[in-house]
Amino acid sequence: MKALAVSVFAALSLASGAAVASADLAKAKNCMACHAMDKKLVGPSYKDVAAKYASDKDAAARLAKKIREGGTGAWGQVPMPANPQVSEAEALTLAKWVMTVK
């Protein structure tokens, strides 16, 4: 039983560590200049993005592409600039993290 508890604790620690790491990555890549956790700034909140794409099984890949290439129209006419300084792996990490925001 003790081993199970340790395993569960380790898994939860890793999961929360990944969430913190992704929030830190969002800060490091200047995502927070336009986005906030639960309110609209220049762009939509992470909470709103996660809610909008919750039923889309391909959302993380689609969002990762938008993070790197930018776009317009999904949230109005304010464009999201391209972020080529964000690697494909970082963009996917960020997108997966955004999809967990509640």
Mapped onto helix, strand or coil, the DSSP state of residue 36 is coil
Task: Check if the beta carbon of residue 92 is closer than 8 Å to that of residue 64.
Answer: yes
Task: Reply yes or no on whether the pLDDT at 4 is more than 50.
Answer: no
Task: Reply yes or no on whether the pLDDT at 95 is more than 50.
Answer: yes
Reference 68, options 58, 83, 78; nearest CA is 83
DSSP summary character for residue 32: G
Q: Could you tell me the residue ranges of all domains in the chain?
A: 2-98
* 53 C-beta neighbours (distance < 10 Å), count: 18
End-to-end CA distance of the chain: 32
Q: Which helix (H) or strand (E) holds 66?
A: helix 59-69
Distance CA(20)–CA(75), nearest Å, equals 26
* pTM of the predicted model as reported, rounded to 2 decimal places: 0.79
pLDDT band at 21 (very low <50, low <70, confident <90, very high): confident
Distance CA(14)–CA(29), nearest Å, equals 22
| Superfamily, domain 2-98 | Cytochrome c-like domain (1.10.760.10)
Distance CA(44)–CA(89), nearest Å, equals 22
